[in-house]
Amino acid sequence: MHLETALVHTRDELGAARGAMGGSVAAVMTMGALHDGHRALLRAARERADHVITTVFVNPLQFGPNEDFDRYPRTLDADLAICAEAGVDLVFAPDRAEMYPSGEPMVRVNPGPLGERLEGASRPGFFHGVLTVVLKLLQVTRPDLAFFGEKDYQQLTLVRRMVRDLDVPVEIVGVPTVREPDGLALSSRNRYLAPAERQAALTLSAALRAGVEAAAQGRDAEAAARASFDSGTAGGAGLAKLDYLVLTDPDLGPAPARGPGRLLVAAWVGSTRLIDNAAVEVAPAT
């Protein structure tokens, strides 16, 4: 157990602690409510770098007016314990005024056309908010590496793209999604789910599995995934409402006729919006 995780709330404190770090530095950005998915990010960061900085900030910029900003879980004490256990050197947990001292930023990162599709279509302005805070956190933590979960695949893709397009000197590392034994992808929002909704949420991962299997057999992955979702055989039929289910290439471009692709799904389960995705290998059509 690493007991020397320091907690800082201001940029000045962060700057001083960062300045004292020799060797390589990895950043893991979070909104708190840490779970095993974050533990995997922290572990991966710990393995690659001499120092790990975790940021904990529920970013108001990436929540729409009717979204869950107010009810988003805030669990800093538990988060700190997880960070200490994972060997994190420094936790930066700023408040809103520390991150946005002049109020809402006038200038924001424009995610381009990819930011308007999929999550961006359902959550206007979401990726402007995400990329703006990610860029700010990269500026203040100055990491050599930054780790993001594949669970938020469009976010990971856009962060990679931002770093490339804007010449941000950091290596972005993607970390595979962590799942419950029954397939549910870990998410801080899973704690909103009532038992019947928790069951219905399995519809997403079940649909992805059906799609992955179909693709490998040269069948239509999207159609198979949709049929699985609609059948509700995973449980909780009728409780999960599909937003999108789409096959793309690994960069979220058009679906490949063969080779590697990505299957992405988003659905409402009760009042909770869940997303998931999986790598697929598209075999030639049979």
Catalytic residue numbers? Answer: 38
Q: Name the residue nearer to ligand PAF (CB basis): 150 or 152.
A: 152
Binding of ligand PAF by 130 (CB under 6 A): yes
**Six-digit token pair at 273?**
């919006």
Stretch that binds ligand PAF, among 23-31, 65-73, 108-116, 243-251 (CB under 6 A): 23-31
Output the smallest distance, CB 137 to ligand PAF, in A.
7
What dihedral do alpha carbons 2, 180, 73, 69 form, nearest 10°? 130
Binding of ligand PAF by 31 (CB under 6 A): yes
CA distance 44 to 51: 12
Output the smallest distance, CB 256 to ligand PAF, in A.
27
Output the smallest distance, CB 196 to ligand PAF, in A.
27
CA distance 108 to 60: 13
Binding of ligand PAF by 152 (CB under 6 A): yes
Q: Name the residue nearer to ligand PAF (CB basis): 155 or 157.
A: 155
**Cα-based distances in Å from 184 to 190, 193, 207:** 9, 12, 11
Output the smallest distance, CB 155 to ligand PAF, in A.
6
Cα three-residue angle 128-97-72, rounded to 5 degrees: 65
CA distance 90 to 20: 11
Binding of ligand PAF by 82 (CB under 6 A): no
What dihedral do alpha carbons 140, 143, 189, 110 form, nearest 10°? 60
Stretch that binds ligand PAF, among 14-22, 69-77, 130-138, 171-179 (CB under 6 A): 130-138
Output the smallest distance, CB 205 to ligand PAF, in A.
19
Stretch that binds ligand PAF, among 26-34, 71-79, 192-200, 258-266 (CB under 6 A): 26-34
Stretch that binds ligand PAF, among 16-24, 128-136, 167-175, 278-286 (CB under 6 A): 128-136
Neighbours of 168 (CB within 10 A): 15
Beta bridge partners of residue 267, listed in sequence order: 242, 274
Residue written as token pair 């509700």: 232
Answer whether 36's CB lies under 8 Å from 186's CB. Answer: yes
What residues line the site for ligand PAF (CB under 6 A)?
29-31, 59, 62, 130, 133-134, 152, 155
Annotated binding-site residues read: 31-38, 62, 149-152, 155, 178, 186-189
